[in-house]
Structure 1
Amino acid sequence: MSEVRDLQLKVLWLSGRLYHRHEIVEPHQHDFAQVQLVLSGQEYTDLTQSNGDDSVSVSVFANQLVFIPPYTTHSFHFEHETVVLDVKFDLQADIAGLIEKNASQHIFDVEDVSPFYALLNEAIPAEQKRFPAAALQLDVDFKQLLLSTIFKQQPAESSTHNLDRLIDINTDFPLLKYLQDHYAEPIQLPELAAHFNYSKNYLIRICKRETGLTPMNLLQHIRLKHAQNYLEYTDLSVNDIAIKVGLDANYLTKSFTKTIGTHPIAYRKQSRQEHERNITLMNTFNRQSQPQIKNSVQHPMD
């Protein structure tokens, strides 16, 4: 059976990459589109359209995305350590024209980067072809995020992914939405039931029917997924992460280790090593065509 892919947008390659101070990517172009989402730090991007007449230099800050159309010469340089999610993808002419018509400014703010984090987690089973629709799901999810960002629409709530996928599917469930919005706050079952004017037993029953979990277990899952994202994509300490997700630091460490199977610090190291590798989804994509990263500082010879 041939691999199923989206007809309009096909993800070719993803990478979560750390660029160091003074590193540069020299001018180059390619026949596919590219998005770079800055997760931390700052990227300086120079773009020249295929006609050579339209050149622009932009600074891309954290939680901003730069869209690079096909056949656009571009280069990058970095004056600070910068973490970037890099996605390269094929576009059919119809959707490419629609995006380019509305992407003339190139830079877009991303209010919630967590769905983009989840793309890296989706890409691994897609690359390994663990199930037939894995790459198709990645194509569709990335297309939704890209269009939502460019057309200034809110993407669907997606604080979590695999029970995460279950949570994405059930975003219309009021209890789930409430927990996604308030997970960092102190929440107890009696107050939660009172908020929805339900008895505790009824709230537990409908939550288990919709998600397979009790309300407090669902809240725990959401908190741990946010903790995972903070560990993977920030340098916050475990104590600071615990505060952000509404947990005590010791409890977070114990619960994370028991549920995820590894200590938070070990998880951070392992996930960053995994995400910084390049993920190629199409065998025909020439990885050797990727531009080299150089250091712009010239060191004197000894």
Structure 2
Amino acid sequence: MNGEELRTFLVSNNEKQAAEWDLIKKEFKPVTIDINGEQVYVFDMIFDLTITPIEDPIGISQQLPSAYVPMHVHHFIELIYVYQGQCTVAFQNRKLTIFEGEIVIIDKKTPHAVEGMTDTDIVIDIKLKHDYLSSSFLSRFTQKSIISQFLIDSLINNRSTNNYLYFPFKERSNIAGIMEHIMCEYFDKDFCSADMINSYLFILFTELIRHSNNTSSIKQSDSKQDAIALNFLKYIEDHYQNCNLTEMAGHFNYHPNYASSVLKKATGKSFKDLLQIQRLNKAALYLTNSNLPVAEIAEKVGYTSLSFFYKKFNEIFLQTPKEYREKNL
């Protein structure tokens, strides 16, 4: 299946009549629970357009315009992607309209319902039994970068605070192409399709991390502070060999005390700590990707004292540079 065939497939599906809510209730017998004074339905399984249960860890289906499911929760993460048009996702305390190319990820046990669709809107629903937003999974993306870790921490914190994440991507986003590949593999399964989907999901979440600091779930004041902090982190990554707080603050026309405060609030770490982490992360990369002597690596990443380098490396990695190299080659 290619992109044109996928579009034809989705447009054709949109003309189908969705299963009636009464039939869904009869088939799955969802219980109701009270959340914030409202009775909501609980679904603990995934099913497709024909309400056939899906046992796979990933279930992808099309949200038909004629479908109706009242406020409900799942025991898994749900990703809603607007392929064409728009839709509205209703939460208990607000409604969120998402447009073509945008994504909202809804956390487990978060009451919600999809509404406001017309016959021309095409909305894709991905249910993930595995938690692709756990800190252990997202840590795979860090690549020894203080920026990556900052974005991951922001993503996790916003998820915890808001129970959903909204990604208002711009036209130049790579998301549409990634989602197209995922759907083509899922709706037209072939050899190793499951592995391909998992790989594309890894790429998808990498894109989400890149854009996590732009989500509308972040308060405007926090978003501005995070943007400034991100600029500081980029500066540290680019100038870690001979970086100091005064020069960094001056580069952005801020007072050093303000720069220090912004970094501390955004990351929980001081400028000095972040600089050490960046230098040591670079040293770790040299250790596993080169045959350079430890003393030369220490000098390359900005340390004039070899003994101080050994001390700080052991504090972060809980092993000597030699032990780290031997374990990670």
Give the structure, 1 or 2, with the largest relative contact order (CA under 8 Å, sep 6 or more). Answer: 1
Same fold (TM over 0.5): no
Band of TM-score, shorter chain = 0.3 to 0.5
Please report the TM-score for the alignment, with normalisation by the length of structure 2. Answer: 0.35
Structure label with greater radius of gyration = 2
